[in-house]
């Protein structure tokens, strides 16, 4: 009963209760979830009480949504009242939230049952979930390999069947990249589509909450539940929650799929990844879509631009963790300056410190114009690239990441190579556009992700294309066996 759709069907047919479903999920999260390093905190008593309330609603015919009674995990940077939120950082180990964030409120309003918290890179800064005080989360396809990051615990939980869906956050690919590594669907909505109220900020102009699921249809259910205008978030768009499921017709005839020439160059992704994506595009073409070539000429500059903007905003956002108001405070300090220095030195990990230092540098008086202001100008050019490309196509397709999941620890000494791996994902965050990763094949027994990018607020078309692809293929039905090999029958 590992998919959200199967759980929903079983609940509606009274084949099992929400209490039974949640009890089973809690047991697996406690055993397999902890073993994988994917789960870092559970709220068992509260979850079971909420499951009982869901069963009562169902018996009374008061089902709230397709998510009614189903279990979910939240990335450990989304707050819930009375629950710890650590962002996988020592500096927030003692913090317990005094309020519910929008993500938790929306899920509970939809009848979903929040099991607890999923592992992540510290403050969402990383691509492997190795930058975590809890240790790395492991890939269910091969526990010696990374599940990606920064939302790696959420992706691994869905891939392993611990929950039918989970939430993550995406600042530069932190939903889509782990979805690619773990062989699940991961969606980053349009910036402002989902409220960031209660999401601990990394880079405020880039962060966005989104779902992990097995199918596009399930992603539509979750996105409908968590979307909508929130006056508590000044960047929340004044748009009602979209009706997405009705767009999943299976028909893509006449839709134009754009292939950016910059995403398919010889020195880009590994050849096996490109081949799998091309086969995925061919399936859409066989379904009646038209494939056209487009160009995104500023692609060579997007990684540099992203890491200037994101680190500058991180430096500003993380200045609040000073030991004075909440979170970790160093012991036996000499004075205020010593408290600031030691609390932050002891509380932050190496990657977070690296990004704070870089962001502080680019915001400094002598370098602001040369770096941060210039990066914002390039960001405008990147947005213009997409506007021009979407005049020729409806959806853009390409790889999600240049390679498949690599061994844990393989890139610890080369952070720049991890940054460069974000080449296909950061553009959507810089431009505020929606993107989705879905499994499109395998390479060496490990999943390959195909990314689809869409126009602002056009998640419906992205999900329509993704759903049509999944109706023609079975890549989303493949499951890890625990030894790094896939079930038989995977289509090339």
Domains of the chain: total:
1
17, 65, 75, 132: the active-site residue: 75
Determine, yes or no, domain membership for 42. Answer: yes
Identify whether 55 is part of a domain: yes
Q: What percent of the chain has pLDDT over 70?
A: 98
pLDDT above 90 (res 487): no
| Residue 351 within a domain | no
List, for residues 79-102, the tens digit of each pLDDT value: 999 999 999 999 999 999 999 999
Task: Answer whether residue 462 is part of any domain.
Answer: yes
Running DSSP on this structure, what letter comes out for residue 236? -
- Quick one: DSSP state of residue 212? E
Answer yes or no: 150 catalytic.
yes
Is residue 14 part of the annotated active site? The answer reads no
pLDDT for the residue numbered 1: 66
User: Could you give the 3-state DSSP secondary structure of residue 436?
Assistant: strand
Which domain CATH number covers 260? 3.90.1300.10
Residue 491 lies in a domain: no
Minimum mean pLDDT range among 309-313, 355-359, 401-405, 478-482: 478-482
pLDDT more than 90, % of the chain = 94
**Choice among 17, 18, 65, 150 that is catalytic:** 150
Burial tier of 287 (Cβ tally within 10 Å: 0-12, 13-18, 19+): middle
Q: Determine the pLDDT at residue 482.
A: 57
Is 75 annotated in the active site? yes
pLDDT at 481 over 90: no
Instruction: Determine, yes or no, domain membership for 281.
Output: yes
What is the rounded average pLDDT for all residues in the chain?
95
Mean pLDDT, residues 9-18: 97
CA-CA distances (angstroms) from residue 123 to 196, 312, 405, 485? Answer: 15, 14, 21, 32
Average pLDDT for residues 162-166, to the nearest whole number?
Answer: 98
Can you give the residue range of the structural domain that contains 187?
4-297+387-477
323: left (phi over 0), alpha (psi -120 to 50) or beta: left
- pLDDT above 70 for 161: yes
Average pLDDT of 115-141? 98
Q: What's the whole-model pTM score?
A: 0.96
pLDDT at 196: 98
Compute the average pLDDT of residues 276-285: 98
Inform me whether the pLDDT recorded for 484 exceeds 70: no
Task: Please state the rounded mean pLDDT for residues 36-58.
Answer: 98
Long-range contacts of 49-58 (CB under 8 A, 24+ apart): 50/108, 50/113, 50/114, 51/17, 51/18, 51/19, 51/21, 51/22, 51/23, 51/113, 52/18, 52/19, 54/18, 54/111, 54/113, 55/17, 55/18, 55/19, 57/111, 58/11, 58/18
In a domain, 358, yes or no: no
Q: Give me the catalytic one of 17, 89, 169, 174.
A: 174
């Amino acid at each position: 009963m590992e998919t959200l759709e199967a759980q929903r069907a079983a609940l509606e047919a009274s084949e099992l209760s929400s209490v039974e479903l949640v009890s089973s999920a809690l047991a697996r999260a406690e055993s397999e979830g902890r073993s994988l390093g994917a789960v870092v905190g559970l709220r068992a008593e509260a979850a079971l009480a909420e499951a009982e309330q869901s069963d009562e609603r169902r018996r009374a015919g008061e089902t709230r949504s397709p998510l009614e009674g189903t279990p979910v995990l939240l990335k450990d940077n989304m707050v819930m009242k009375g629950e710890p939120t650590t962002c996988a950082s020592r500096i927030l180990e003692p913090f317990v939230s005094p309020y519910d964030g929008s993500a938790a409120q929306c899920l509970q309003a939809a009848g979903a049952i929040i099991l607890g918290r999923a592992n992540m890179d510290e403050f969402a800064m990383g691509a492997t979930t190795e930058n975590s005080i809890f240790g790395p989360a492991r890939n269910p396809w091969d526990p010696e390999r990374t599940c990606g990051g920064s939302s790696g615990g959420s992706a691994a939980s869905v891939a392993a069947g611990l929950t039918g869906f989970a939430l993550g956050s995406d600042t530069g690919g932190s939903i889509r990249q782990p979805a690619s590594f773990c062989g699940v669907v991961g969606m980053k909505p349009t910036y402002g589509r989902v409220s960031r109220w209660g999401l601990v900020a990394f880079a405020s102009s880039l962060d966005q909450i989104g779902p992990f699921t097995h199918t596009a249809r399930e992603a539509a259910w979750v996105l409908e539940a968590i979307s909508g205008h929130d006056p508590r978030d000044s960047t929340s768009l004044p748009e009602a929650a979209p009706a997405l499921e009705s767009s999943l017709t299976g028909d893509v005839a006449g839709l134009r799929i754009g292939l950016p020439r910059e995403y398919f160059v010889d020195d880009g992704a590994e050849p096996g990844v490109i081949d799998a994506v091309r086969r995925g595009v061919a399936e859409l073409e066989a379904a009646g879509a038209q494939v056209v070539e487009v160009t995104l000429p500023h692609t060579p500059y997007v990684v540099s631009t992203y890491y200037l903007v994101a680190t500058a905003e991180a430096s500003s956002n993380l200045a609040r963790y000073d030991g004075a108001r909440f979170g970790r405070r160093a012991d036996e300090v000499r004075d205020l300056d010593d408290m600031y220095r030691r609390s932050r030195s002891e509380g932050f990990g190496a990657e977070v410190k690296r990004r704070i230092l870089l962001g502080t540098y680019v915001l400094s008086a002598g370098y602001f114009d040369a770096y941060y202001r210039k990066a914002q100008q390039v960001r405008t050019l990147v947005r213009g690239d997409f506007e021009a490309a979407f005049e020729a196509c409806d959806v853009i397709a390409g790889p999600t990441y240049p390679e498949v999941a690599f061994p844990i620890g393989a890139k610890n000494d080369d952070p720049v190579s991890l940054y460069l791996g974000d080449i296909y994902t950061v553009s959507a965050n810089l431009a505020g556009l929606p993107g989705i990763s879905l499994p499109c094949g395998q390479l060496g027994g490990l999943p390959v992700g195909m990314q689809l990018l869409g126009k602002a607020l056009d998640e419906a078309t992205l999900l329509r294309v993704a759903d049509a692809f999944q109706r023609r293929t079975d890549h989303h039905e493949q499951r890890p066996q625990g030894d790094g090999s896939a079930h038989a029958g995977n289509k090339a």
